[in-house]
Amino acid sequence: MLFTEYTAQINSILENPSLENLDLLTAFYLGLKTGNPDSPLLPELRSKVEALYAIKRALKFLDRFLVVSGSNNLTPKTKEIVLVSENPLTILAKVNEISGKTDATRLIEPFADRILDPVFHEEFLAYEAEAHHVVVGALIKRLEPVVEKMAYDLPSVHSPKKNTSNNLYCGDNVGKSFISIDLRQANWTSLRHWDSTLPEWETFLRIHLPESALKSLFIASKNFRQVTLGVVLKKHGAIKMVEATQVMLIKEATSPLVRKLGRPFSESNDEVIFEWRQQPGSPLEKWLLSTITSPLFRITRFRILEKTYDECYSVYYEELNSSKKYTLLRCASPDKIEARLK
């Protein structure tokens, strides 16, 4: 069968090839190779198909790389844009800038010139698997006595509460300010509450992670901490006990504020948010900082500035017990971030 009648359609797709039409391009290529092997379209079609398959393989790496580095979630189309660009870091940095995750850009910058390198893809995925295996093994052994102590000493009255969350990022709250008190590294902090000899998480990883240029990336990775601890806590049957500890710690820290301000705007196991009508530096704010002094808690005042794009809101954050100040874009879904790239 000749494919000359499809020439216009093939040419149209070749002008703007993407993973969305990879299956169609592959079918055209295989059919053309069999039915019309002398077609002048064949070399270009083969080249495009091979390039798209390389992108498809690279997406598996990019998914993990973005998650581990703490970069913003991307839609499939944006990931494809990253992989076919001459300078992927520029696009990733733009995405992180839009969503306020500049720390993620700093983490991935040393590897920017290897983002498109298949050898690096294999190295990264292999290191992630090894790191996960080593750290989970070390955690299982180290946390066993901690879990036993927690099970024996944890007061039964501190059962985990259900999350209560109002719609924070919405038009009704534009111009309003809020105060958040949240437990830093909540799972690990809860375990250290029961065993003060547990080192800080970063120190634990420095001891146990295999040596590699990637080591610093995994030490700083929130996702790696959550995944490895989640596996171990589930194996020990300790998830509910850790959640109960979070509730206990956050309740002890915020109960004076509840007595002054009343019911929180929203609360979860490790965070409480209050609507905040005080001016910066007010007596109540100073009282709050003098009441919650533990470095285990992050106290953040934030203001929802404006609705900037569709379902996105610009939010200004100021951590009151540190020097951090930043603006983030809060969006309902990743495709809103993608639209800002155009």
Query: What does the pLDDT look like over 283-325, one tens digit per residue?
Result: 999 999 999 999 999 999 999 998 876 677 888 999 999 888 8
pLDDT attached to residue 113: 80
Residues 61 and 200 in one domain: no
Its pTM stands at 0.78
Residues 47 and 171 in one domain: no
**Higher pLDDT among residues 15 and 185, named by residue:** 185
The reply to whether 110 falls in a domain is no
Residues 74 and 134 in one domain: no
**The domain boundary residue, chosen from 35, 70, 85:** 85
C-alpha dist (Å) from residue 291 to 186, 266, 324 = 20, 20, 20
The reply to whether 106 falls in a domain is no
Range of the domain at 50: 4-85
Q: What is the mean pLDDT of the chain?
A: 82
pLDDT attached to residue 196: 92
Residues 203 and 336 in one domain: yes
The reply to whether 100 falls in a domain is no
Residues 263 and 147 in one domain: yes
How many Å apart are CA 101 and CA 173, to the nearest integer?
A: 23
pLDDT attached to residue 157: 45
Residues 204 and 262 in one domain: yes
Mean pLDDT score, 44-54? 75
The reply to whether 177 falls in a domain is yes
Residues 67 and 131 in one domain: no
The reply to whether 98 falls in a domain is no
Please count the structural domains in the chain. 2
Residues 57 and 187 in one domain: no
pLDDT of 271 strictly over 50: yes
Q: Beta strands 325-331 and 312-319: pairing type?
A: antiparallel
The reply to whether 296 falls in a domain is yes
pLDDT of 97 strictly over 70: no
How many Å apart are CA 279 and CA 284, to the nearest integer?
A: 9
The reply to whether 99 falls in a domain is no
The reply to whether 228 falls in a domain is yes
* Greatest CA separation for the chain: 83
**The domain boundary residue, chosen from 70, 85, 100:** 85
Contacts 24+ apart (CB under 8 A), 112-118: 112/87, 112/88, 115/62, 115/65, 115/82, 115/83, 115/88, 115/89, 116/58, 116/83, 116/88, 118/54, 118/57, 118/58
* 232-251 per-position pLDDT tens digit: 999 999 999 999 999 999 99
